[in-house]
Amino acid sequence: MIETIAGAVDRGRALLAAAGIDAAGLEACVLLEHAAGFDRAALLARGRETAEPSVVERYERLLAERARRIPLAYVTGEREFWSLRLRVDRRVLVPRPETETLVEAALERIGPGARVADVGTGSGAIVIALALELGSGTFLATDRSAAAIEVARANAAAHGLARNIEFLAGDLLAPLAAHAGLLDALVSNPPYIPTAELEELQPEVRDFEPRAALDGGSDGLALIGRIIAGAPSLLRCGGWLLLEIGAGQAEPVRALLLGTGRYEDILTRCDLAGIERVVLARKAA
């Protein structure tokens, strides 16, 4: 079938809309750009040109995957985070814009030379952003999934950080035992969705993203509680714990922090939607 580039976008928009995808027009553009190697300016400028058969073939394949509700980031194999292009696949959670709130909060409290650990690093998005922004320091990243560590290492290498970040496979804080009392900051975007709510998620999340990166236990706080309990042994006095949380979890997490008697200066930070997205606390002296 001979069609213009603009016609291919229109056809893709209709197919994705029929599959229940809200941003069908935007995603049709993204997929055609990916298939053709265009940027947005080229896509707009060349809309009346005939689409190359090889491009149409690739585009059809991408559309079919997205119509099955495979996340857009998995279809294209990449996601932008903190203005960085990261490779992602089904081994890792897709980085979300709201997680940039965690990076912002951390950068306000630590500077170059800091010793920082990212617990549950996934694609490496958080620790890579921090390492690039801070420029110098000691950067550690843990994940219980060896497959996720592979993705994170590849992303770090792609951004010139292969020697700057130490990736450690293991459960939560366990791989950090050698750094007890030394960390200036411990950051984490842990699983925080209550188990009963997982089936209510959009198909892209429910059916394709790693369940272990989503499931926070019966109340969503199982792993958060473990991190809160264990972090004081790793942080220096005055060091910061920063956690991404779900909507409505700020007060329960604050209670967990207070209950340990090990933290002070407990604060929250909202994301762009006005949701309390990050809880941070300083280790008390």
CATH code of the domain covering residue 271: 3.40.50.150
Per-residue pLDDT tens over the stretch 250-265: 999 999 999 999 999 9
Given a cut of 90, whether residue 41 has pLDDT beyond it is no
Residues 54, 83, single domain; the answer is: no
Share of the chain above pLDDT 90, in %: 92
Query: Does a structural domain hold residue 74?
Result: no
The whole-number pLDDT of residue 47 equals 81
Given a cut of 80, whether residue 2 has pLDDT beyond it is no
Domain end position, chosen among 46, 68, 90 = 68
Residues 84, 225, single domain; the answer is: yes
Residues 132, 111, single domain; the answer is: yes
Mean pLDDT of 130-138: 97
CA 123, 127, 132: angle at the middle one, nearest 5? Answer: 115
Query: Does a structural domain hold residue 148?
Result: yes
Of 42, 46, 40, 51, the closest CA to residue 8 belongs to: 51
Query: Does a structural domain hold residue 237?
Result: yes
Tell me what the pLDDT averaged over the chain comes to: 95
The whole-number pLDDT of residue 39 equals 84
Domain end position, chosen among 47, 68, 89 = 68
Domain end position, chosen among 28, 49, 68 = 68
Mean pLDDT of 240-244: 98
Q: 119 phi and psi, to 5 degrees?
A: -95, 125
The whole-number pLDDT of residue 265 equals 96
Per-residue pLDDT tens over the stretch 177-196: 999 999 999 999 999 999 99
Query: Does a structural domain hold residue 21?
Result: yes
Per-residue pLDDT tens over the stretch 213-236: 999 999 999 999 999 999 999 999
Residues 87, 51, single domain; the answer is: no
The whole-number pLDDT of residue 1 equals 63
46 or 250, greater pLDDT: 250
The whole-number pLDDT of residue 117 equals 98
Residues 17, 152, single domain; the answer is: no
Mean pLDDT of 262-279: 96
Residues 235, 108, single domain; the answer is: yes
CA 84, 67, 36: angle at the middle one, nearest 5? Answer: 55
- For residue 74, give Cα distances in angstroms to 19, 134, 165, 202, 233: 17, 29, 25, 15, 37
Mean pLDDT of 114-143: 97
Q: 245 phi and psi, to 5 degrees?
A: -135, 170
Query: Does a structural domain hold residue 132?
Result: yes
In the chain, the DSSP E strands lie at 78-81, 84-87, 114-119, 137-143, 165-169, 183-188, 235-244, 263-270, 276-283
Residues 204, 225, single domain; the answer is: yes
The whole-number pLDDT of residue 43 equals 83
Of 183, 178, 176, 280, the closest CA to residue 236 belongs to: 183
Total number of domains in the chain: 2
CB 246 within 8 A of CB 209: no
- Could you tell me the end-to-end alpha-carbon distance of the chain, in angstroms, rounded to an integer? 71
Residues 60, 164, single domain; the answer is: no
Query: Does a structural domain hold residue 44?
Result: yes
Name the band, by pLDDT with cuts 50, 70 and 90, for residue 40: confident
Token duo for residue 31: 């997929």
Mean pLDDT of 76-99: 97
Residues 128, 16, single domain; the answer is: no
For residue 187, the number of C-alpha atoms closer than 13 Å in the C-beta half-sphere is 32
Mean pLDDT of 206-212: 96
Residues 152, 37, single domain; the answer is: no
Q: Other CB atoms closer than 10 Å to residue 74's CB: what's the count?
A: 20
Query: Does a structural domain hold residue 111?
Result: yes
Residues 16, 107, single domain; the answer is: no
Residues of the domain holding 249:
79-283
CA pseudo-torsion sign 247, 75, 118, 221: positive
The whole-number pLDDT of residue 45 equals 85
Residues 42, 100, single domain; the answer is: no
Query: Does a structural domain hold residue 73?
Result: no
The whole-number pLDDT of residue 249 equals 97
